[in-house]
Chain A
Amino acid sequence: MSGVIDSIFSTTFLFSVIRVATPLILASMGAVITSNAGITNIGIEGVMLVSALAGVLASAFGYGSWFGFLIAILVGVICSLVIGYVSMSLKADSVLTCIAFNTMAVGGTVYFMYAVVKDKGTTIALNSGKLPSIELPFIKDIPILGEVLSNHNIVSYIAILMVLLVYIMLYKTPLGLRIRSAGKAPNALSSVGVSLLRTRYIALGISGILGGMAGAFISMGYVTWFSKNMTAGRGFIALAADAMGNSTPIGAALSSLLFAMAEALSYSLQITSIPSELVQMLPYLVTIIGLVAYAIRKNSLDKKKKEHIVGE
């Protein structure tokens, strides 16, 4: 047990938390934007999966890893807009559209993988690209901090940048105001002559960019191949992070870090004698507990608010 505790307080553990958190942060930013616009987008799981495969195939048959990254983003945007078209323009139930899309993503990626590499498991046979890791100048020389923060995959830094960008976009730009109004007061938005539909399409498009990046990281940064259903519910965890972070970028990013910590811990615990199934269960269980704890706190706050109003 002491070995585990040592490993948790080691720099390699903190390093792996950031690594594991990267797709969660990116996807949860996508979820934050859509839920601010008033859309529950559980399709982000499928978007990540499709983008992950698209990135691998594009990098293997195209112009390398950055080309793959761009294609992954593009495919992410297209998928998100298709979900939007079906649920908003064709007026299908949005949850249902997303479930159907996720089913199609799981089956469809296997179909295409088999069509290309004649393997239903992984694309390991393909020589696909890897997005580079970078060393941060100056920071890498700081003792402990350098070991934790430097030498990450470039997408991890992009993810942190995205938290800032999403924050600025949501709270400091006209577009952000429109997106937030689309969720909170859609009628007010229409009354000032802004198209609700268009705003929501834009929100979905941006979430597609973020979901695409998350997918690309999973198959071209975290590992360098695609395997069946490799997102393993990370899109759903990102939704949980969004719910726990009350749909604010900073809150969702911190929740993502918490869930990532549980996942990283589960990797450290695999060396111990604790049964591996219980360890694998940990990230999902922590997510549920986190959601419940948040909901209880929010409920009691709401109650207090009500009492306060009544008291006046």
Chain B
Amino acid sequence: MKKTNKMSVEQVHTWFEVLRFASAIFIAFAISFIIISFSIDSPFSAMKNLFIGPLTSFRRFSTVLELMIPLTFGGLAVNIMFKANQFNLAAEGALFMGALVSAIIAIYMPGPSGLVMVFAMIAAGITGAIVCAIPGILKVKWKCSEMVVSLMLNYVMLYFGTYIFNQVARDPNSAYKASYTFREGVTLSNIISGTRLHSGIFIVIFFVIATYIFMFKTKWGYKLRVTGSNINFAKCTGIGVAGVIMSSQLIGGFIAGVGGSTEMLGMYTRFQWSELPGYGFDAVILNILAKENPAYIPVAAFFVAYLRIGADYMYKQSDVAAEIVAIIEGLVIVLIAAVAFLAKLKHKMTTKASKNLLESGGAQ
């Protein structure tokens, strides 16, 4: 058989995906470059700062990794919840409440600090699961739009959580709005001195692997994927659809809650969030960047975290508001999600590859 340099159709599709990602990112940067050049005189140096910012010091690079942790937790949570075809956006509220609950436990619970932390994480996970279950129950039972309910629920959780915080944990002697400090030793240990990178990174790695195995190697994960991709088919094959949807919301919420707890115990010594942290919405973006595959979520989280730290550096050096990354992220997402973007090119490449294959096949 003559070996040819011609690509198979599958290879063409893989290459095409890479090309699409690259061009989406390129276009997003190009547009934001144009926007930046309207507002300052030296857009080139601003863009340069955006790209090299995280690499300018070891400390800055480690903040990228620190930021990856909560982003990845959120991404995994949303990945599982969305897999059931439920647009449940309550991960935001779940993460917030999880952080609060674990902070309260870290302040008050007696006992060895390791035990306190395990307990805090589990309690935070359960809290998150309850939060994300609410839109799920309302959807399964009465067909309420899970999206609208979860959007409202996030605000309810913010204010309800702030109320609990003020009643239970707020330190009246603190100059700003913060809780009492956590008990001595109740903190995820630092793994690289000189940075704030904490052992939560091992917890998140564990969850990435666990989610991947759950999704692709277990019966549960299979049921979930079937339910998400075709609910009627799932019903016909005897899958308890309501149960599958509910359990995916519970698991997703649990991961979000643990994420909040990890962030709290790893990065803070007191609870001081007065706004929703935003990781829940970022998670939707990550999930798309990762092509809805849990294994790629850390990669997507790295990309987003790198961009944010870079933007922060750009803000300090070039006086361009770091919020420009929201525009870059939005553009990248939209272009990646757009099926028709570069579709003609894909069609052309596929036809060409098939033709080539046919010709070489004829020569065999």
Contacts and interface: CB of A to CB of B under 8 A. Distances in A.
Interface of A: 40, 42, 86, 89-93, 95-97, 99-104, 106-108, 110-111, 114-115, 120, 232-233, 236-237, 239-240, 243, 275, 277-278, 280-281, 284-285, 287-288, 291-292, 295-296, 298-299
Contacts of A291: 138, 144-145, 148-149, 152
B212 interface: no
A86 B337 CA distance: 9
Contacts of A111: 35, 321, 323-324, 326-327
A97 B145 CA distance: 18
B262 interface: no
A288 B149 contact: yes
A222 B110 CA distance: 50
A306 to B, nearest CB: 14
Q: Most chain-B Cβ atoms within 10 A of its Cβ — which of A103, A240, A280? A: A103
Interface of B: 35, 38-39, 87, 89, 138, 142-145, 147-149, 151-153, 155-156, 159-160, 162-163, 166-167, 281, 284-285, 288, 320-321, 323-327, 329-331, 333-334, 337-341
Contacts of A42: 147, 151
Contacts of A275: 163, 166-167
A79 B271 CA distance: 38
Contacts of A91: 338-340
Contacts of B159: 277-278, 280-281, 284
B327 A99 contact: no
Contacts of B320: 115
Nearest to A115: B39
Q: Is the interface of A mostly helix, strand, loop or mixed?
A: helix
Contact of A107 (B142, B163, B327): B327
B162 A277 contact: yes
Given A91-B340, A275-B163, A295-B144, A97 B323 contact: no
Nearest to A266: B159
B281 A103 contact: yes
Contacts of B160: 277-278, 281
- Closest 5 pairs (CB-CB, A-B): A107-B326, A104-B330, A90-B338, A281-B159, A114-B321
Contacts of B330: 100-101, 103-104, 107
B155 A233 contact: yes
A236 B151 CA distance: 7
B95 to A, nearest CB: 16
Nearest to B337: A92
B153 A288 contact: yes
A227 to B, nearest CB: 14
Nearest to B151: A236
Q: Most chain-A Cβ atoms within 10 A of its Cβ — which of B87, B152, B167, B329? A: B152
A292 B144 CA distance: 6
Given A42-B147, A277-B159, A278-B163, A93 B337 contact: yes
Nearest to A45: B151
B318 to A, nearest CB: 12
A22 B159 CA distance: 24
A233 B155 CA distance: 8
B244 to A, nearest CB: 21
Given A103-B329, A278-B163, A281-B155, A236 B148 contact: yes
B156 A120 contact: no
A106 to B, nearest CB: 6
17 contacts: A86-B334, A90-B341, A91-B338, A103-B281, A108-B326, A111-B321, A111-B327, A115-B321, A232-B155, A233-B155, A239-B148, A277-B160, A281-B156, A281-B159, A288-B149, A288-B152, A291-B152
